[in-house]
Structure formats: structure tokens, C-alpha cells
């Protein structure tokens, strides 16, 4: 679905991503993992188009359509191509209601200002109850649900989640894990997840790409993530 080759990114003169290769298999859930500050969000922002890439390629490929290099596609058009994005800070409109937040996302994705589909409220029943509540009045858990619902109203084929568990309690993290597995396995949505919580990664993801100081240092199936690799790359004391 998406293949990155030799992607390099700079903040000013700080070289942050170094020759990143990444392949997202259609239908799989792939997790970008790594300690804080290793480049997960930067990589996600390059894929969504919110950060410019210095060099490399990002080829978007879907069955029956010619491949496209995403570097030629503006961020706002990547959504219309089938990419949904849930940023780490959620970015919901705090003064607008749940329903208004969802309408804006639908219109930004090119849809008419129709009612929010019942499918969305079936996935997020609390949001139906809260549909007239402003974003500012939502709990952290419900803000996360709204950010996910907003990404799903445009029917993405690739859903990108940047540390969705951050700041959430364990009960909601469990529920979130169930939802991501359902979106991936029952709805067939390909998922890219930046995450640090290993238990969560093991529960929801099939594949991983491990970043260390902006370099991809290991990749493979999540079941190959063993203690040796984790203590080498995922404990701050051993970070080299
Ligand atoms: N806007 C920015 N300007 C300059 N440097 C930045 C900027 N954003 C991030 N960085 C730096 O880029 C590197 C990678 O940061 P990034 O946020 O991508 O890491 P991360 O793995 O997502 O971390 P976290 O888990 O804390 O979100 C870090 O050294 C960070 O300080």
C-alpha cells in the first residue's frame, strides 16, 4: 500500500530521519516503535505531508490504480486519496460540538454536509450520546474517540495513529486496542501506529519498524520482538 525508500528529513540543519525504508502491507497493522525523541512523530508527519521530506520516495499503491509518489501530493489531498490521520495531540475543535467536528472532517474529505453515518456512531456509541457536546467538554477518552471517528468519516484505507494511548487510562487503552483490531481485521483498514507501549503493540500490531535516533535499526514481525532486541534498543540506559 505504501513503500518508503531512503527518506531523509531535516529540521533546519538537524538531520532527523536517515534513509528510512518502510513497507506497509495492505491489511496489516504496522507499528513504528522507539523511545521518546527517536523520530516516530517526524516520520508520521512526513507520511501525512505535514513535514517536508528532503529526499527519498513514498510510493502509494492500490490495486487497480497506478502508483503515485506521495511527495507530489499535498497534505490535504492525501486524505482524499484514502489516508486517515489521528495526531498525537488530537487537534479537535474545542468550541465545536462532536457533530460539528465530524461534519468538518467529512467536508474536508470532499463529502457533502450529510448526517454523520450511523456506522460511525455504532463504532463510538458514546459519541452519539455526546453529539451536541463541545470538544472542550469531553473527557480525554472521548476526545480520543472523536479524533478517531473524525479520521474514519472519510473511509480511509490507511489509518495512521500517532501514540493513541498517550495520557489514557488502562481501561480505555484496552478498549482502544479492541477497536484498532476490529478496524484492522473486520473492516480491512491498513494501520500504521506510532507507539511505545509494548503490551499494546504486541496486542494490535503484526509488524514493527524500530527507530533509533532517526534510523530504522530493525523491522519484522511483532512476534520476533525479543527481550534481547528490546533491552538493546528500548531501554533508555542502553540507548547508544
Ligand atoms: N519541530 C521541531 N523542530 C526541531 N526539532 C524537532 C522538532 N520536532 C521534533 N524535533 C526533534 O526531532 C527528534 C525526533 O522527534 P520526534 O518527536 O519525531 O520523536 P518521537 O519518537 O515521536 O518522540 P515522542 O515519543 O516523544 O513523541 C527529536 O530529537 C526532537 O527533539
Q: pLDDT tens digit string along 135-145? A: 999 999 999 99
pTM for the structure as a whole: 0.93
* Sign of the torsion angle spanned by Cα atoms 39, 41, 46, 47: positive
The residues spanned by each domain of the chain are 1-82+156-165+191-240
Nearest to 200 by CA among 234, 232, 175, 226: 175
Write the pLDDT tens digit of every residue in 38-84: 999 999 999 999 999 999 999 999 888 889 999 989 988 898 889 99
CA distance 95 to 158: 28
Architecture of domain 1-82+156-165+191-240: 3-Layer(aba) Sandwich (3.40)
Indicate the pLDDT class of residue 240, thresholds 50, 70 and 90: low
CA distance 52 to 207: 26
CA distance 210 to 221: 11
Its ipTM equals 0.96
Give 50's contacts (C-beta < 8 A, 6+ positions apart).
75
Residue nearest to atom 7 of ligand 1 (CA): 11
Nearest to 151 by CA among 195, 182, 189: 189
Residue nearest to atom 2 of ligand 1 (CA): 11
Q: Mutation test of ligand 1: which of 11, 44, 162 has the most ligand atoms closer than 8 Å to its C-beta? A: 11
When mean pLDDT is compared across 25-29, 113-117, 143-147, 221-225, the lowest value belongs to 113-117
**Mean per-residue pLDDT, 188-207:** 95
What residue has cell string 486524505?
A: 79
| Residue 163 pLDDT greater than 90, yes or no | yes
The ligand 1 atom nearest the CA atom of 214: 14
Amino acid at each position: 500500500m505504501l513503500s518508503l525508500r531512503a527518506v531523509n528529513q531535516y529540521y533546519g540543519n538537524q538531520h532527523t530521519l536517515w534513509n528510512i525504508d518502510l513497507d506497509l502491507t495492505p491489511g496489516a497493522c504496522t507499528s513504528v516503535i522507539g523511545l521518546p525523541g527517536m523520530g516516530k512523530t517526524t516520520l508520521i508527519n512526513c507520511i501525512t505531508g505535514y513535514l517536508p521530506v528532503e529526499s527519498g520516495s513514498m510510493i502509494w499503491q492500490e490495486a487497480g490504480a497506478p502508483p503515485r509518489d506521495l511527495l507530489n501530493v499535498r497534505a490535504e489531498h492525501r486524505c482524499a486519496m484514502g489516508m486517515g490521520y489521528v495526531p498525537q495531540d488530537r487537534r479537535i475543535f474545542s468550541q465545536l460540538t462532536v457533530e460539528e467536528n465530524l461534519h468538518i472532517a467529512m467536508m474536508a474529505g470532499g463529502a457533502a454536509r450529510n448526517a454523520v453515518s450511523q456506522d460511525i456512531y455504532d463504532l463510538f456509541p458514546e459519541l452519539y450520546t455526546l453529539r451536541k457536546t463541545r470538544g472542550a467538554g469531553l473527557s480525554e477518552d472521548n476526545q480520543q474517540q472523536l479524533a478517531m471517528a473524525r479520521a474514519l468519516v472519510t473511509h480511509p484505507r490507511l489509518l495512521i495513529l500517532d501514540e493513541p494511548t498517550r495520557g489514557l487510562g488502562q481501561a480505555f487503552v484496552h478498549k482502544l486496542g479492541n477497536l484498532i483490531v476490529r478496524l484492522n481485521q473486520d473492516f480491512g483498514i491498513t494501520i500504521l501506529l506510532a507507539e511505545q507501549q509494548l503490551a499494546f503493540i504486541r496486542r494490535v500490531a503484526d509488524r514493527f519498524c524500530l527507530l533509533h535516533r532517526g534510523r530504522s535499526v530493525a523491522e519484522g514481525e511483532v512476534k520476533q520482538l525479543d527481550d534481547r532486541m528490546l533491552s538493546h534498543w528500548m531501554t533508555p540506559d542502553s540507548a547508544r
